[in-house]
Each structure stands twice: as structure tokens, then as C-alpha cells.
């Protein structure tokens, strides 16, 4: 038994209403059925706008704090004295800062070219997958700003703990001075937040 148009009930249906999936046979039937949905949609937009309005205001509710002004550090006498008493501190801080910057693409390609090349005996010793590229580039994940910040914090933590070849005492003193200058967390408070 064949079904008939859900609107006129005279002919077999060829189409379905995109809103309610009611079968209909022609454009004329659909045009007579469509106003039913238009009336129900007219009642819905106020409810939709009330739901979507809070999501638009959400970013404005959590404004970012203004960036700190670090220009005062250049003339801070404590830091100037620290840099003179610990001459390698400036280089240590540069290394930590360099970890937050994106690596030079030409330099990373150059380094990856020589990775996994083996020890010279018929290309043996190049690790798994020699025929697929010698495993080059799989060990180093892609750099992101979050990864750079995490690496710099790791370097800073190692320097402060004395597990770095640089001047650990100078780095600890530098962190203490910065904490005092900007009212940030002291050394003990900062370590509590680094647990994750």
C-alpha cells in the first residue's frame, strides 16, 4: 500500500519537509505547509537570543590583566649589582629567554639533516625505519608558544635548584628581586604552583 502526501492526501509523496520530515507531493503543498513552521519559529528566537547572549559576554567578564612594565628593571640598582657580582647570570637568563622564542626554521632543518645517519657502515646503525627516512624528526615535537614557556620554566627551575651548569645562586637572587619588584610570589609560593 503506497503512502500519500501528508498535506493533500491525493498523490504519492516525492519530497519531505526539512523541518518535520512530513512527506509531500508538490511545491504547492509545501507552500501551504511551510507557514506552520514559520509561526513556530517566530516564537523560538527570543529563547535562542537569551541563551546565546551570555556566551557573547563571557570573554568580557574575564579581562586580561595589563602587561607588567619591565622597563624599571633596567635601572634597578639591585639587578645592576647582581649582574656585576654574577657575570654569567646575563648569559644564563638569555638561554632561558631563548627557550621561549620559536626556533629558526633553517637551523632546525640543518640539525635534522644529520640526525639518524648511522655510523658509516652501509647505513647501519641509523635506527628503525632507515628506508623511511632514518627516523629523523620524530623525536622533536613541533614548537608552540606553550611548549616554549614550559621549557623556559623547566630551565629556570633547574637553574634555581642548582642542577644547571650556570650560576644557580645568581638565578635564585634574580627571582627573589623580581618577586619583590612586582609583588609576585616568593620562591616558596612559586614552587607550590609548579607542581602540575
- Which of 168, 140, 141 lies closest to 156, judged by CA? 168
Which residue has 519537509 as its cell numbers?
A: 17
* pLDDT tens column, 41-70: 666 555 544 444 455 555 556 676 777 777
User: What global pTM score does this model have?
Assistant: 0.47
End-to-end Cα separation, the chain, in angstroms: 67
Helix 168-182 crosses helix 145-161 at what angle (to 10 degrees)? 120
The confidence score (pLDDT) of residue 74 equals: 80
The confidence score (pLDDT) of residue 195 equals: 45
- Alpha-carbon distance 44 to 39, whole Å? 9
Per-residue pLDDT for 35 more than 80? yes
Per-residue pLDDT for 85 more than 90? yes
Mean pLDDT of the chain: 73
Q: What percent of the chain has pLDDT over 70?
A: 62
* pLDDT tens column, 95-137: 888 888 888 777 655 455 555 555 555 555 555 555 555 555 4
If DSSP codes are grouped into helix, strand and coil, which group holds residue 74?
helix
The confidence score (pLDDT) of residue 126 equals: 54
**Confidence band (pLDDT; 50, 70, 90) for 169?**
confident
The confidence score (pLDDT) of residue 119 equals: 52
Amino acid at each position: 500500500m503506497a503512502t500519500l502526501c501528508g498535506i493533500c492526501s491525493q498523490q504519492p509523496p516525492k519530497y519531505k519537509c526539512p523541518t518535520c520530515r512530513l512527506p509531500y507531493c508538490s511545491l504547492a503543498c509545501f507552500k501551504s505547509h511551510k507557514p506552520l513552521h514559520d509561526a513556530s519559529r517566530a516564537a523560538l528566537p527570543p529563547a535562542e537570543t537569551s541563551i546565546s547572549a551570555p556566551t557573547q559576554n563571557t570573554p568580557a567578564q574575564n579581562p586580561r590583566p595589563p602587561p607588567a612594565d619591565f622597563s624599571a628593571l633596567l635601572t634597578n640598582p639591585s639587578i645592576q649589582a647582581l649582574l656585576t657580582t654574577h657575570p654569567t647570570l646575563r648569559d644564563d637568563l638569555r638561554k632561558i629567554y631563548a627557550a621561549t622564542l620559536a626556533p629558526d626554521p633553517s637551523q632546525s632543518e640543518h640539525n635534522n639533516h644529520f640526525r639518524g645517519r648511522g655510523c658509516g657502515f652501509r647505513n647501519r646503525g641509523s635506527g628503525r625505519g632507515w628506508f623511511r627516512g632514518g627516523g629523523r624528526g620524530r623525536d622533536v615535537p613541533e614548537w608552540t608558544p606553550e611548549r616554549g614557556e614550559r621549557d623556559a620554566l623547566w630551565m629556570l627551575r633547574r637553574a634555581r635548584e642548582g642542577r644547571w651548569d650556570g650560576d644557580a645562586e645568581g638565578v635564585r637572587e634574580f627571582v627573589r628581586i623580581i618577586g619583590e619588584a612586582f609583588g609576585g610570589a616568593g620562591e616558596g609560593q612559586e614552587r607550590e604552583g609548579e607542581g602540575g
